[in-house]
Chains A and B, each alone.
Chain A
Amino acid sequence: MTASATTLTYASLDEVVPATSSPRFAGLLPKIETKSSLDSTTNQSADTGFDHHFVKLRSLLKNSSLWPDGAEAPSVEAQQQALVMLGQLHADRFLPTRIVASAEGGVAICFSKDNKYADIEFLNTGEILGVVSNRRDRPIAWEIEPSARDLARASARIRKFLDASPSP
């Protein structure tokens, strides 16, 4: 087969999500083809821009140089939630700008476009917070439920915000 636009080349999901994954996320983990499913004759990859985000997400747990000073390490649970969100974004073909560790402990997925900014933060406490800002007016923050439906809504909300024409 030829690689489709939805095929990723990043390392196996098993490497991203430890075997001890909470069953809480079992139904939410993204169904994404892994490297072994790519065309071995052409070695063709289909990097849609997400590969390095998955790699970064994996490295955030262990690489303390990526954490803000004084921050606690991101938890496996926060990483798993971020992985679910990344799967949602991949399904939506909505590429984030950066994935980082949070100063409050956790993982954040950041977006920016035309001087507008948004992020979704997966805290070690299990809370998920979203924010959008045009850098001029007050930002809008909201809480996100750890459900596939709410994560999809958050993706759509942020995309709509970033794609909207700038206000005069």
Chain B
Amino acid sequence: MTLHGRLLGFASSSTHPRPLRMIQGNRQPDDRFRPKDQLYRRCKIEEIIDGHLTGVSLRLDDMSTNWSKYSKPWDVIFDYPGYGIARFRVLDLPTDLPTEDPPGATVASHSFRPQHRPCQNNYAHTEIWAFSEGQRKPRVNSNTVKKEFRQLMSDRSLVLYLP
């Protein structure tokens, strides 16, 4: 209920000023993530089944979230009235995908890590980056890795606030 009340209070820049914590100002990126840190993401009702975000509502490449260290959950719906809020934990990000090679192919192991990518009006903005063989992979080519990642994140997601 407290969350609900706060959500109603921070619905839009037309009625409320953007919270100062969201403004980057002179602050630099910070990559000291802790496993229990949370990553928030806004969602539509269409994207929720059985209390989880669906994997098909998630896009792997540079998936966008807000880091709990510098934000409140409801910051992700500032200026997005009608949206809900879901969260992941940093410790939920997989480190060894795919689970098995697809038939007839060998796929290098992929891991996923958060990367703080502040925006001027959203300092907490954080992307989830893919890595393989020590290199960042802006594009993951393996369909198996992409599909497994999206479903794992779905399974580990929690909807905090329904749209």
Contact = CB atoms under 8 A, between A and B. Distances in A.
A131 B102 CA distance: 13
Interface in B41-86: 42, 44, 46-47, 49-50, 52, 54-60
Interface residues of A, number: 30
A138 B146 CA distance: 13
A139 B94 CA distance: 12
Interface stretch (B22-30, B116-124, B147-155): B147-155
Contacts of B13: none
For A68, A133, A142, the residue with the greatest tally of chain B CB atoms inside 10 Å of its CB is A68
A98 B154 CA distance: 16
A104 B44 contact: no
B2 interface: no
Contact of B46 (A66, A127, A133): A66
Interface string B117-150: 0000000000000000000000000011011100
Contacts of B151: 117, 131, 133, 139, 141
B155 A139 contact: yes
Contact of B56 (A102, A115, A140): A102
Contacts of B46: 66, 98, 100
A140 B59 CA distance: 18
Nearest to B48: A98
Interface of A: 66, 68-71, 97-98, 100, 102-104, 108, 110, 112, 115, 117, 119, 121, 127, 129, 131, 133, 135-136, 138-143
Given A135-B52, A141-B144, 4 more contacts: A69-B42, A103-B58, A110-B56, A142-B144
